[in-house]
Amino acid sequence: MENLQDSKHRDLTKNKSDANNKFLTTDQGLKINDDNNSLKAGERGPSLLEDFILREKITHFDHERIPERIVHARGSGAHGFFEVTNPIPELTKAGFLQTKGLKTPIFARISTVAGSRGSTDLARDVRGFAIKFYTEEGNYDLVGNNMPVFFIQDASKFPDLVHAVKPEPHNEMPQAASAHDTFWDFISLMPESMHMIMWIMSDRAIPRSLRMMEGFGVHTFRLINAKDESVFVKFHWKPKLGTHAVAWDEAQKISGKNADFHRQDLWDAIEMGNFPEWELGVQVIPTADEHKYEFDLLDPTKLIPEELVPVTIIGRIVLNKNPDNFFAETEQIAFHPGHLVPGIDFSNDPLLQGRLFSYTDTQLSRLGSPNFHEIPINRSIAPVHNNQRDGHMRQEINTGRVSYHPNSLGGGCPYQAKISEGGFSSFNERIDSHKIRGRSESFNDHFGQAKLFFNSQTEVEKSHIVKALRFELGKVETAAIRIRMLGLLAQIDQQLAEKVALGLGAQVPDSPEKPMNHGVSPENEMGNQESTTVKQSVSSSDALTMIKNPTNSNTITSRKVAIICNEGVSEACVANIKSALLKEGAKGFVIAPHQGSLKTENDGAIPVDFSFLTASSVLFDAVYIPHGKKIIALEQNEEVQEFLNDAYKHCKVIGADGDGQKLLKATSFASKIKTSDKGIIMKEEKASKDFATEFIKAMGKHRYWEREENLYQ
């Protein structure tokens, strides 16, 4: 099979346009002589209607915007490839999974859900993670999230969920935030959301980088092999850089300092050649095991613990090229879980089933035409021939008189493919059932896996969940909603509920309120027979934590270090850390009271990357204070103090050598530093190799969260 890696790039080249050395023209190709002045009746006279050049320019401008995505409006995308490392022909006949080393071009778009297109990247939210595979058998879309479960079990509740979380309709507030009454009102009446609520209140919802998140297909899918045998699968993708988060206080500050933080991080990493990479894997469940577990495989509020079914890695996903044009590619790309190739099929998960309708439908209003598949980024590299015709902005010029099937005038073309010729056929599942509007009883355990998730977390992670809930519910104005939530949290973990209640100054209710009191009919309107809690066969799973996550590595590749400097800084110290970081693929940035250059201790000069005004600790992973004659003078600088305070508060590595230590010792937190805190590195000796090695090793742990114990009591 030909290696396909560049085939999509070749395809896109047909539509690329470069204005270098070209004349300015109208849309009709007419060369423009004056683009600065409209046509007027006299120099001081009115503009003339006949100015078709002005009219064309302004008309086009007036129509530049398209509706943003109803959800996932804020996103960033990149090109890349998927490479098979472990072919699985015994499980699927999908062509792009058959041959070791085969590279299929992809485009990935990673997004937040609730915020508008211009909203901050660091909102507490689930991240969408959608990947389009341009395979030889047509486009395959894996449209997942960075959390393996979802809020609701049935598609019919999706508009309600989204209405509840979006800014409130009367005043359009708050933007990109779930911390408001309507969201928690809805959630407190939806016990099925409790597992997802644990995920969204955990640090998974505030990733350090889009490159440091896991991806999940969420629903159960089917794979089908050439013998028409099927297995169920769950898709997982695991980041090479590990799964990491920022602190919530940090996330909020980043939103102010650089709302494009994640977008920029992804862009810069790719530009620098630090290509983000994930391993793609599957959990495989034989069809015979469909009913083996205490949860239903069709229930999207449940995951399959990796202790029960391990993830088999089948390939790697690499993002290696930024888009040429955000609108043409990242904005216009249209995903759909129903874009399938032979060998992959759906399950009957009722959330997935609803999605199969929604995605084409939404493109019709967002992209404006059923011809959205012709937009270059959406175009398949496999040939497209059918009898679909016309519509807005049709690009293809179909020749001949035949646009129907069957036909004899066109020789029967385009003809249907046999299965042996790659024709798609749905899995031949036997269905023999009553038509019902309801839900299976096997979906009724709403707390079992919420408990599993909570119990799997380290103490630090549990405390972050408590704080997140205190924050979110603390912003809720209606006391009854807060109390109702405490009642639900108590069913996950009594201590969790009590700790949250303490922060809210409220009491955990003795018996939780029934959702039925709030417009939910007792008999099954939500499918809501009483929630039951089923005993879990796994009580704790490391794959669910971030801190103990098996994907974690101690690489510091692409991490950023702030080097705090003043006039008279030791050039040797700066050079020492910079070169040591560079060897690890990380980068040091000089930050000083002013931009330009800084005089060094030997009357040399070093360039300054940022001033304290244009940089902030939250934009870096660690801080280093090198030796310098005048470094202690920064003690008086409020911005420097805030810089260091934040770095400490957000549990980052802080290092200092020589006189740099004096500045560190002059901070308000100096007296709190424990000798056991391995994230604080001080050395008398200047510019030593040992210091750099220790600093880098410390950064490998990402954060020293245990520091929070003496920060918040």
Q: Is the CB of 111 or the CB of 558 nearer to ligand HDE?
A: 111
Smallest separation (angstroms) from ligand HDE to the CB of 115: 13
Smallest separation (angstroms) from ligand HDE to the CB of 321: 17
How far apart (Å, rounded) are the C-alpha atoms in residues 39 and 58? 14
> Which stretch of DSSP H or E encloses residue 235?
strand 230-239
Angle formed by the axes of helices 181-188 and 158-165, to 10°? 140
* C-beta separation of 573 from 564 below 8 A: no
Is 366 annotated among the ligand-binding residues?
Answer: yes
Q: CB-based contacts of 567: which residues, under 8 Å, 6+ apart? A: 598, 599, 628, 629, 630
Smallest separation (angstroms) from ligand HDE to the CB of 282: 15
Q: Is the CB of 162 or the CB of 572 nearer to ligand HDE?
A: 162
Nearest C-alpha neighbor of 381 from the set 77, 104, 109:
104
The answer to whether 69 contacts ligand HDE (rule: CB under 6 A) is yes
Is 359 annotated among the ligand-binding residues?
Answer: yes
Query: Under rule CB under 6 A, which residues in 632-651 are in contact with ligand HDE?
Result: none
Q: Which of 33, 36, 60, 72 is catalytic?
A: 72
Q: Is the CB of 189 or the CB of 334 nearer to ligand HDE?
A: 334
Is 379 annotated among the ligand-binding residues?
Answer: no
Stretch that binds ligand HDE, among 138-146, 183-191, 652-660, 670-678 (CB under 6 A): 138-146
Query: Strand 587-592 to strand 221-224: parallel, antiparallel, or no bridges (unpaired)?
Result: unpaired
* C-beta separation of 508 from 486 below 8 A: yes
Q: Is the CB of 69 or the CB of 93 nearer to ligand HDE?
A: 69
How far apart (Å, rounded) are the C-alpha atoms in residues 221 and 347? 5
Nearest C-alpha neighbor of 205 from the set 143, 265, 247:
247
Binding mask 81-110 for ligand HDE (x = CB under 6 A): ----------------------------x-
Smallest separation (angstroms) from ligand HDE to the CB of 494: 30
Dihedral (CA of 193, 198, 199, 200) sign? positive
How far apart (Å, rounded) are the C-alpha atoms in residues 308 and 285? 10
What are φ and ψ of residue 325, in 5° steps?
-150, 115
Stretch that binds ligand HDE, among 66-74, 340-348, 505-513, 514-522 (CB under 6 A): 66-74
How far apart (Å, rounded) are the C-alpha atoms in residues 327 and 360? 19
Q: CB-based contacts of 49: which residues, under 8 Å, 6+ apart? A: 55
Stretch that binds ligand HDE, among 144-152, 496-504, 588-596, 697-705 (CB under 6 A): 144-152
Q: Is the CB of 70 or the CB of 419 nearer to ligand HDE?
A: 70
Is 355 annotated among the ligand-binding residues?
Answer: yes
The answer to whether 527 contacts ligand HDE (rule: CB under 6 A) is no
Smallest separation (angstroms) from ligand HDE to the CB of 218: 4
Smallest separation (angstroms) from ligand HDE to the CB of 302: 13
How far apart (Å, rounded) are the C-alpha atoms in residues 460 and 708? 8
Position among 81, 134, 140, 150 found at the interface with ligand HDE (CB under 6 A): 150
CA–CA distances in Å: residue 273 to residues 266, 276, 481:
11, 9, 48
Position among 84, 94, 102, 155 found at the interface with ligand HDE (CB under 6 A): 155
Stretch that binds ligand HDE, among 52-60, 122-130, 199-207, 373-381 (CB under 6 A): 122-130
The answer to whether 593 contacts ligand HDE (rule: CB under 6 A) is no
Q: Is the peptide bond before 414 cis (omega within 30 degrees of 0)?
A: yes
Q: Is the CB of 72 or the CB of 79 nearer to ligand HDE?
A: 72
What are φ and ψ of residue 689, in 5° steps?
-65, -40
Smallest separation (angstroms) from ligand HDE to the CB of 284: 19
Query: What stretches of 340-447 show up as alpha helix (H) in DSSP?
Result: 350-366
How far apart (Å, rounded) are the C-alpha atoms in residues 610 and 281? 41
Position among 8, 72, 253, 702 found at the interface with ligand HDE (CB under 6 A): 72
Query: Under rule CB under 6 A, which residues in 290-319 are in contact with ligand HDE?
Result: 300
Q: Is 36 a catalytic residue?
A: no
Residue nearest to ligand HDE (CB): 128
Smallest separation (angstroms) from ligand HDE to the CB of 349: 9
The first and second tokens of residue 262, run together, are 């994640």
Displacement of CA 184 from its chain's centroid (Å): 23
The answer to whether 347 contacts ligand HDE (rule: CB under 6 A) is no
CA–CA distances in Å: residue 8 to residues 79, 337, 393:
9, 20, 22
The answer to whether 687 contacts ligand HDE (rule: CB under 6 A) is no
Q: Is the CB of 332 or the CB of 456 nearer to ligand HDE?
A: 332
Stretch that binds ligand HDE, among 67-75, 237-245, 453-461, 492-500 (CB under 6 A): 67-75
Q: How many CB atoms lie within 10 A of CB 171?
A: 7
Position among 354, 368, 414, 509 found at the interface with ligand HDE (CB under 6 A): 354
The answer to whether 626 contacts ligand HDE (rule: CB under 6 A) is no
Nearest C-alpha neighbor of 491 from the set 458, 463, 451:
451
Smallest separation (angstroms) from ligand HDE to the CB of 242: 22
Is 216 annotated among the ligand-binding residues?
Answer: no
The answer to whether 362 contacts ligand HDE (rule: CB under 6 A) is yes
Smallest separation (angstroms) from ligand HDE to the CB of 73: 8
Q: How many residues line the site for ligand HDE (CB under 6 A)?
A: 26
The answer to whether 369 contacts ligand HDE (rule: CB under 6 A) is no
| Partners of residue 222 on adjacent β-strands | 232, 345
Q: Is 72 a catalytic residue?
A: yes
How far apart (Å, rounded) are the C-alpha atoms in residues 61 and 692? 53
Q: CB-based contacts of 477: which residues, under 8 Å, 6+ apart? A: 181
The answer to whether 143 contacts ligand HDE (rule: CB under 6 A) is yes
Query: Under rule CB under 6 A, which residues in 206-245 are in contact with ligand HDE?
Result: 218
How far apart (Å, rounded) are the C-alpha atoms in residues 161 and 156? 10
Q: Is the peptide bond before 515 cis (omega within 30 degrees of 0)?
A: no
Q: Is the CB of 527 or the CB of 588 nearer to ligand HDE?
A: 527
* C-beta separation of 84 from 102 below 8 A: yes
- Torsion-angle region of 368 (φ positive above 0: left; ψ -120 to 50: alpha; else: beta): left
The answer to whether 111 contacts ligand HDE (rule: CB under 6 A) is yes
The answer to whether 158 contacts ligand HDE (rule: CB under 6 A) is yes
| Partners of residue 532 on adjacent β-strands | 445
| DSSP character at residue 331 | I
Radius of gyration, CA atoms only, the chain: 28
Smallest separation (angstroms) from ligand HDE to the CB of 160: 11
Q: Which of 139, 145, 322, 371 is catalytic?
A: 145
Sites of contact with ligand HDE (CB under 6 A): 69-72, 75, 109, 111, 128-130, 143-145, 150, 155, 158, 218, 300, 334-335, 351, 354-355, 358-359, 362
Q: Which amino acids are annotated as binding site for heme, given as ranges?
A: 69, 109, 158, 355, 359, 366
Catalytic residues: 72, 145
Q: Which amino acids are annotated as binding site, given as ranges?
A: 69, 109, 158, 355, 359, 366
